[in-house]
Amino acid sequence: MSEHLENREPFEVEVVLVRGREVNLYVFKEPCPQCGYCHTHGAGRPGVDEPQALAGHRIRHCPDRNRRGKLLDYSALRDYVLVWRGLEQTREEMELR
């Protein structure tokens, strides 16, 4: 594998499950190391999909700029692998953060 591709390997991020009425979400436990935002990703339908089955590799959700407004170098950004260790929070708890 070339050095370039090795540098683009996805990295692991721990996520928290937030259950909803119509859809469950995975939310970054810590801000994204690339952009500083806590990204959210779909985690399936309540009572239908098993959340654990929907963890894993995701295309990055990093915006053009980080939280301080600095333009990000898209060629250096990597995708990530969502790791869920069973942590759950309610929507209300997440908004307190």
Residues of this chain that bind Zn ion (CB under 5 A): 32, 34-35, 62
- Nearer to Zn ion by Cβ, of 18 and 62: the residue is 62
- We find the least distance from the C-beta atom of residue 35 to Zn ion, in angstroms, to be 3
Q: What are phi and psi of 22, to 5 degrees?
A: -110, -25
* Burial grade of 49 (CB within 10 A; 0-12, 13-18, 19 or more): middle
Question: What is the smallest separation between the CB atom of 11 and Zn ion, expressed in angstroms?
Answer: 11
Nearer to Zn ion, 35 or 43 (CB): 35
The 3-state DSSP composition of the chain as helix, strand, coil percent (nearest 5) reads: 20, 30, 50
Position 26, amino acid:
Y
State the minimum distance, in angstroms, from the CB of residue 51 to Zn ion.
21
24 versus 34: smaller Cβ distance to Zn ion: 34
